[in-house]
């Protein structure tokens, strides 16, 4: 009788869920997550490398997932009828020796963990998308899915031996395996310890060998990502840095990237990973699956939304590079020459009626200008530039502004005669008064207008001074 009761519990743990399968299909189906969950490892790998067979298979699986779940359940039921002791022994092996019996405190801690998994994963993916450190988001997804959904980590990692040969992914999966072995024999510290790791964890490295061993496991992940960053910088160096920036600027950008990556790993990834392993190895798998599915439902739409938003904006690291370029006289001169050529050509193309009275961005000219300066700036840096038009004293004016998401500033103005102005002091008084008048007419409680001049007023020559 007792054996039958245990068998029912084991069956419930091993049978795949229709709800979980469809949530994985909706959130990560293009990477084959639902097929990994259902034991279809070969097609899961194909989906991961082909975007779900170029999204066609992903869409088709909306209808097939129900039958795949039903097939997986039938297969598990047959296996359990043939060798039930194997499943019972396997279930017992996934519980760490240090695991305690479930008590009321384990359930009282659930609201705290729910709040953590509600807030931290979306914030984590937001930071990684802003910094374009997509590798960290991948690590988070691999660990959460492996520990929270797939079931026995050690058993299922055996199916990923091919992926362990891949750059970065192989190190991530190997790190998951090492972390599993470590936490199986060593109970993770309290959640508060990992949440305050910069204050509590680093000092403990001086006194605890276990703390050092645990840190070195995460250090291997950091080192693998650092190697990827350095290789990316090395390959992009010829096109991204010379002639205006040199190897010192590249080294500084690598240092900044590594600093933010280390901050994300220590402050976000480490508490999340240890929580997942703690719940998994202590037998609280239902809690962990609820938290994991909830985190995926919040994180994936957030990541997609941030990615779409940032495709038309200047990324944080690109902004830092662009600011460094503006400190170089050679860059200013090349940008001025390219801008003068562009504005001089297009100023004669627009009819008088097409130029508005007040400054207004021209979407068509902006897109053309961004393509035109593609040889001067790099990657998404061009997304920070806009071309606008206006009239003043019956004359047509064209300009370029720089908008990096904070306070925009003007860089160039050019009149209909082809004269390029890059210094505020050389502008006609009427143009200066027009922009000053726009600022003075602004109500005190209104947001700063897009045309307000940065600082006390200036164009390119005053920019950054």
Per residue in 260-289, pLDDT (tens digit) is 888 888 888 888 888 888 888 887 776 787
Model confidence band, residue 63 (pLDDT cutoffs 50, 70, 90): very high
CA dihedral 70, 75, 76, 82 (to 10 degrees): 150
| Residue 403, CA distances (Å) to 153, 187, 464 in order | 47, 50, 14
User: Hey, what are 358's tokens?
Assistant: 């007040």
Give CA–CA dist 277/175, Å, rounded: 13
**How many residues make up the chain in this entry?**
465
* Cβ–Cβ < 8 Å for 20, 66: no
Task: State residue 1's pLDDT score.
Answer: 38
User: Which residues, 6 or more positions from 289, have their beta carbon under 8 angstroms from its beta carbon?
Assistant: 20, 148, 149
Question: Residue 346 has what pLDDT?
Answer: 86
pLDDT range class, residue 5, cuts 50, 70, 90:
very low
Task: State yes or no: pLDDT of 141 exceeds 70.
Answer: yes
Would you state the pLDDT for residue 281?
A: 83
Q: What confidence score (pLDDT) does residue 103 get? A: 52
Give the mean model confidence (pLDDT) for residues 185-213.
Answer: 89
Q: Provide the pLDDT for residue 90.
A: 57
Return the DSSP state at 205: T
Q: What is the mean pLDDT of residues 25-52?
A: 81
pLDDT at 368: 94
Mean pLDDT (the chain, rounded)? 79
DSSP letter at 361 equals E
Residue % of the chain over a pLDDT of 90: 16
pLDDT at residue number 213 = 93
Q: Which helix (H) or strand (E) holds 398?
A: strand 395-402
The pLDDT of residue 447: 43
The confidence band for 88, taking pLDDT boundaries of 50, 70 and 90, is low
Sorted by where each begins, the domain ranges of the chain are 1-93, 102-311, 328-462
Give Rg (Cα) of the chain: 28
Q: Answer yes or no: is pLDDT of 208 > 50.
A: yes
Residues sharing a CB contact under 8 Å with residue 145, sequence separation 6 or more, in sequence order? 24, 28, 33, 36, 37, 292, 296
Report the percent of the chain where pLDDT is more than 70.
Answer: 80
Tell me how far apart the alpha carbons of residues 445 and 373 are, in angstroms, rounded to a whole number.
Answer: 37
pLDDT of residue 438: 61
Mean pLDDT of 393-420: 86
Report yes or no: 429 and 292 within 8 Å, Cβ to Cβ: no
How far apart CA 67 and CA 71 sit, in angstroms, is: 6
Give the 3-state secondary structure of residue 309: helix
281 in Cβ contact with 184 (< 8 Å)? yes
pLDDT of res. 454: 40
| Closest among 462, 341, 347 to 411, alpha carbons compared | 462
Top pLDDT among 408 and 86 is at: 408
Smallest Cα–Cα separation from 121: which of 97, 145, 101, 137? 137
| Residue ranges of E strands in 347-426 | 360-361, 385-392, 395-402, 409-415, 420-421
Give the range with max mean pLDDT: 78-92, 151-165, 251-265, 306-320.
251-265
Ranking 43-57, 93-107, 126-140 by mean pLDDT, the lowest is 93-107
Residue predicted with more confidence, 20 or 327: 327
């Amino acid at each position: 009788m007792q054996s039958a009761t245990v068998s029912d519990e084991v069956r419930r743990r091993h049978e795949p869920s229709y709800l979980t399968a469809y949530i994985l299909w909706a959130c990560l189906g293009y990477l084959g997550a639902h097929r990994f969950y259902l034991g279809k490892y070969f097609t899961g790998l194909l989906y991961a490398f082909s975007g779900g067979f170029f999204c066609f298979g992903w869409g088709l699986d909306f209808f097939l997932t129900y039958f795949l779940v039903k097939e997986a359940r039938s297969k598990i039921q047959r296996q359990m009828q043939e060798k039930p002791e194997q499943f019972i022994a396997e279930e017992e092996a996934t519980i760490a020796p240090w695991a305690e019996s479930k008590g009321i405190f384990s359930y009282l801690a659930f609201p705290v963990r729910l709040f953590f998994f509600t807030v931290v994963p979306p914030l984590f993916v937001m930071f990684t998308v802003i910094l374009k450190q997509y590798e960290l988001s991948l690590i988070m997804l691999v660990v959460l899915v492996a520990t929270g959904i797939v079931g026995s980590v050690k058993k299922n990692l055996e199916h990923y031996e091919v992926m362990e040969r891949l750059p970065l992914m192989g190190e991530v999966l190997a790190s998951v395996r090492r972390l599993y072995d470590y936490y199986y024999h060593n109970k993770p510290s309290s959640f508060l310890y990992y949440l305050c790791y910069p204050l509590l964890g680093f000092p403990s490295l001086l006194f605890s060998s276990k703390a050092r061993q645990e840190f070195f496991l995460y250090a291997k992940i950091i080192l693998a990502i650092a190697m990827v960053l350095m290789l990316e910088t090395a390959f992009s160096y010829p096109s991204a840095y010379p002639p205006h920036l040199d190897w010192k600027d590249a080294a500084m950008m690598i240092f900044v990237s590594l600093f933010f990556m280390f901050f994300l790993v220590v402050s976000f990834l480490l508490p999340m990973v240890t929580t997942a392993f703690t719940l998994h190895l202590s037998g609280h798998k239902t809690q962990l699956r609820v938290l994991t599915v909830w985190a995926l439902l919040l994180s994936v739409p957030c990541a997609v939304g941030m990615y779409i938003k940032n495709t038309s904006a200047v990324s944080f690291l690109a902004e830092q590079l662009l600011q460094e370029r503006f400190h170089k006289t050679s860059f200013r001169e090349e940008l001025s020459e390219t801008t003068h050529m562009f504005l001089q050509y297009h100023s004669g193309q627009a009819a008088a009626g097409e130029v508005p009275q007040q400054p207004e961005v021209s979407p068509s000219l902006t897109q053309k200008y961004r393509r035109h300066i593609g040889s001067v700036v790099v990657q998404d840096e061009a997304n920070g530039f806009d071309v606008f038009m206006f009239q003043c004293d019956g004359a047509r004016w064209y300009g370029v502004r720089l908008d990096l998401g904070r306070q925009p500033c003007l860089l160039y103005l050019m009149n209909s005669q082809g004269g390029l102005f890059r210094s505020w002091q050389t502008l006609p008084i009427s143009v200066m008064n027009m922009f000053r008048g726009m600022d003075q007419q602004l109500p005190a409680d209104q947001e700063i207008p897009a045309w307000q001049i940065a600082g006390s007023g200036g164009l390119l020559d005053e920019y950054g001074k």
